[in-house]
Amino acid sequence: MNTSRNIVAGLALAISSLACAFPTSTPLSIRSATPEQIAKFGGTPLQIDRQQVRVQDDLIMKDVPLDALRKVDLVLERIDVLAPGAITQVAFVDDEGRTRNTTVPTLRVDCFQGYVDGDPDSHVFLAIGDHGANGWIERTGEQHVITTHPTEQWTAIYDLKTIDPGDMHWADFSCSTKATPAPHVEPKTNSSFRGDLSCLSLLMAVETDAEFTSMYGGNLDAAQEYIQTLVGAVSSIYDRDIGIKVTISYSRLWSDANDPWTGSDSGAQLYQFQSYWQSNMDFVNRHVAHFLSPRNLGGGVAFLSGVCTSNGYAVSGNLNGSFPTPLEDNNGANWDPMVVAHETGHNCGSGHTHDSYNPAIDGCGNNDCTDANLGTIMSYCHLCSGGLSNMAMQFHPRVKEVIIDFLATDLSCTLAGDGSGPLASSDIVETLGDDPVEIAVLQNDYTNDCSAPILNSWDETSLDGGQVELVDGDTAQGILRYTPPVGGPTAGGDFFNYEIRDSSGQLSSSAVLILSVPSRVPDSPVATEPGSTVAYYQLQNPQSLPDFSQLEPYLVEIVGNIDFPSTNGNFAGSGLSDDFGVVFDGFIEVPEDDWYTLHTNSDDGSTLYVGDELVVSNDGLHGMQERSGTLALQAGRHAIRVEFFERGGGAGCIVSIEGGGLAKQVVSSSMWSHEIEVAGDVNDDGEVNILDLLRIIGDWGPCSPLGCPSDLNDDQRVDVEDLLLLLAAW
């Protein structure tokens, strides 16, 4: 028994299963009944199935409703909100005035960040726990909020941009900064900060008051979930804009009303918070500490540039306990993650956009509400008409630079990892036959100290006898060239090991699996002519591609290629500008055996098939949007089918190719062809010759009930008329 080969085969199965199956789920769907409260503000009620996302790290969340008519797919990755070893405690003050802390199990909320499929400039945050879901889907001109009511437990989605600001009942929220001089520290430049930031983490300790727990009727689990939701939302913003994650190292909840917090406004509460924690909470590992409260403290406050100093404190007051909704009884509504992100921004070195930048980024805090709807996290544009609806969940570019510079140069601590070793991750690559392949093995490897991983060693000969060599002698680049053995890798795949190290010399090893992929055999059309056939279909208010096999085209023609930029006029030869579908059928001839990437760029949706295989999925309502897929093709002609539809507005569809020595380009007319019937070609070999004549003579006379190919004029007889048709086509 070949144990090594069985190990490789098992690894091939395991890795390929992970590589090929990008998980999908549909945990959010529309509820059949709409609660009256949701109906009043035009929201869409949602039903949550948390089980669908508990074990997924990266997934496509399908069919998330924006409203009763529109759905989108979300491309998401999991956010790890909890720092390693995170502690959760529940506290109360006993009869003798002493604080009693009890460590409790830390729950885990499923937090994700990402974007809308087809809209890479969008931003999505979603947190799903046992007590509801909160999040947002932010696109140009739209800000859909997902929120679960903290006590009534219904969940809804709505577009904040469409709600009358007066109906939001925004809190009269203000913010101030405290610039109390901190002890002098020598600047410490973290040169890796502008490199790979994925392992940098700002450790946040979270303090609350009894009122925070009371928002959830005393339910400590629900309160703990919302802490993770808030910090996860803040982390998704900081990760996208600054390149650093925010994680919870410690959080504390109060189980009864007898807590020590007595600050009457945010400033008083900040100083009390700072004093108490400096005296009692030095055991908590943290870079900053944040106080969360629903009390009417007048807003938030934070020490400026306080990370890793004795002034690393902030207070966020007037919290909702859920993401906002325009409810009549929701006076003092707040955009909780906006507030926490704002105050944390002060800790990270930024003041307000109206008074801390020269020239000012905006004038909202100076009673100049010009372009107030362009407010960002450190703005005061919530003071203008529109309130917090004016604010985008992002940092202004100049604010980003200030925060990045502060975190990179002005800290006395490191934001890198905990001293544990690197992690080398397995790679799976595909090769065509005997072709060598270059593998960037370090690309998915990780170091905990934020240094770049270095290739330390590798097998020079693979399990099957293939050769492995370092490209350009560069262990920092870490590209290995694998040359297969004669005949290519065996059916189970070939295999070799490699080892990496981090800046401290700690090591980790992993493996590379190489699979030989068969390339697609070309099609053999009998006879062709240049161009692609195109069939046009009338549709009624389409939202996605229909099943064209159930429809009849109203027009069929030939086009040279598929190169139709978006237009508001009639599309190609369709005679229509809206509500139509198109199917292109033909062959693309590729010059050599290779990997090819095919692209569709369309407005609205499109798909591209090679033979029966779906290669490009670009369906749905959207503007000109490009999607692609890659596959291995042998030289020759390959059957291509492109389906496309247009609902309204601009209409366009372009098909491009790259590979086989071709730079990315529109598939030219010279590469396109379509199959035709040849009159008189009785035996379907593409020619009319003596073989067809002999077949007609052999079939002479009446046709059988099953018909006969020699009956060229379809009169159920093979006779002189068919012979004349054949001779005419000779």
- Which CATH number among 3.30.70.120, 2.60.40.10, 3.40.50.1860, 3.40.309.10 corresponds to the domain 419-516? 2.60.40.10
Cβ 30 vs Cβ 68: under 8 Å? yes
pLDDT, average across residues 432-455: 87
Min mean pLDDT across 28-37, 454-463, 545-554, 588-597 is at 28-37
pLDDT of residue 10: 38
DSSP 182: P
Q: How confident is the model at residue 350 (pLDDT cuts 50, 70, 90)?
A: very high
Asked if pLDDT for residue 113 goes beyond 90, the answer is yes
Give residue-wise pLDDT tens across range 283-309. Answer: 999 999 999 999 999 889 999 999 999
Asked whether the bond before 359 is cis by omega within 30 degrees of 0, the reply is yes
**What's the pLDDT at 3?**
34
- Among the listed residues 163, 131, 161, the one whose alpha carbon sits nearest the alpha carbon of residue 40: 163
Which tens digits make up the pLDDT trace of 388-428?
Answer: 778 888 999 999 999 999 998 888 888 877 677 888 999 99
Task: State the pLDDT at residue 581.
Answer: 97
Residue 124's φ and ψ, nearest 5 degrees, are: -125, 135
Predicted local confidence at residue 19, as pLDDT: 37
Regarding beta strands 427-431 and 507-516, do their DSSP bridges make them parallel or antiparallel, or are they unpaired?
parallel
Q: What is the pLDDT of residue 24?
A: 62
Best CA proximity match to 369, nearest among 378, 359, 382, 356? 382
pLDDT tens string 713-730: 777 887 877 777 777 777
Is the pTM here over 0.85, yes or no?
Answer: no
Q: What pLDDT score was predicted for residue 48?
A: 80
If you count DSSP H runs as helices and E runs as strands, how many of each does the chain have, helices first? Answer: 10, 40
The phi-psi region of residue 227 (left if phi > 0; otherwise alpha if psi is between -120 and 50; otherwise beta) is alpha
Residues 527 and 675 sit within 8 Å (Cβ to Cβ): yes
Q: Which residue would you say has higher pLDDT here, 370 or 191?
A: 370
Q: Is 114 exposed, middle or buried (0-12, 13-18, 19+ CB in 10 A)?
A: buried
Prior bond of 604 cis (ω within 30°): yes
Band of pLDDT at residue 592, cut at 50, 70 and 90: very high
Coil, strand or helix at 192 = coil
Strand runs labelled E in 520-612: 528-530, 532-538, 555-559, 563-567, 580-590, 594-603, 606-610
Average pLDDT of 625-639? Answer: 94
Residues of the chain with CATH 2.60.40.10: 419-516
Q: How far is CA 128 from CA 226, 596, 647, in A?
A: 10, 39, 34
- Distance between CA 523 and CA 517 in Å, rounded? 18
CA distance 418 to 413: 12
pLDDT at 554: 97
Distance (Å, rounded) from C-alpha 551 to C-alpha 170?
52
> Residue 450's pLDDT is what?
77
**Band (33; pLDDT cuts 50, 70, 90):** confident
3-class secondary-structure state, position 582: strand
Query: Residue 655: is its pLDDT beyond 90?
Result: yes
What confidence tens digit (pLDDT) does each residue in 101-111 have? 999 999 989 99
Between 197 and 361, name the one with better pLDDT. 361
Any idea which architecture 528-675 has in CATH? Sandwich (2.60)
Strand-pair category, 580-590 with 672-675:
antiparallel
Q: Is residue 221 over pLDDT 70?
A: yes
- Look at residue 14 and tell me whether its pLDDT is greater than 60: no
Every domain of the chain with CATH number 2.60.120.1560 lies at 528-675
Q: What is the pLDDT of residues 52-82, one digit of tens each?
A: 777 667 778 888 888 878 889 999 999 889 9
Question: Of 138, 611, 588, 607, nearest to 389 (Cα)?
Answer: 138
Which stretch, 89-98, 445-454, 466-475, has highest mean pLDDT?
466-475
Q: Once rounded to an integer, what is the mean pLDDT over residues 616-643?
A: 93
Q: What is the pLDDT of residue 6?
A: 37
Instruction: Check residue 81 and give its pLDDT.
Output: 94
Mean pLDDT value across residues 320-334: 69
Question: ∠366-266-348 over CA atoms, to 5°?
Answer: 70
Note the residue count of the chain: 730
Q: What share of the chain is helix, strand, coil (3-state, %, to 5)?
A: 20, 35, 45
- The answer to whether 295 and 318 have CB atoms below 8 angstroms apart is yes
What pLDDT was estimated at residue 488?
82
Distance CA 239, CA 329 (A): 35
Instruction: Round to whole Å and give the CA distance between 266 and 250.
Output: 22
Average pLDDT over residues 256-276: 95
Pick the CATH number of 15-103+110-163+171-180+188-350+395-409 from 3.10.20.30, 3.40.50.410, 3.30.56.10, 3.40.390.10: 3.40.390.10
- Is pLDDT above 70 for 467? yes
What is the reported pLDDT for 178?
64
d(C-alpha 359, C-alpha 717), whole Å: 91
Q: For residue 7, what pLDDT is reported?
A: 36
- Count CB atoms within 10 A of the CB of residue 272: 17
pLDDT in tens, 191-219: 334 334 456 889 999 999 999 999 999 99
Question: What is the tens place of the pLDDT at every residue in 536-589?
Answer: 999 999 999 999 999 999 999 999 999 999 999 999 999 999 999 999 999 999
Tell me what the mean pLDDT of segment 496-506 comes to. 94
Cα distance between residue 707 and residue 717, in whole Å:
9
pLDDT at residue 186 tops 50? no
* CATH 3.40.390.10 domain residues, the chain: 15-103+110-163+171-180+188-350+395-409
Question: What's the rounded Cα separation, in Å, for the pair 644 and 651?
Answer: 10
In the predicted structure, residue 180 carries a pLDDT above the cut 70: no
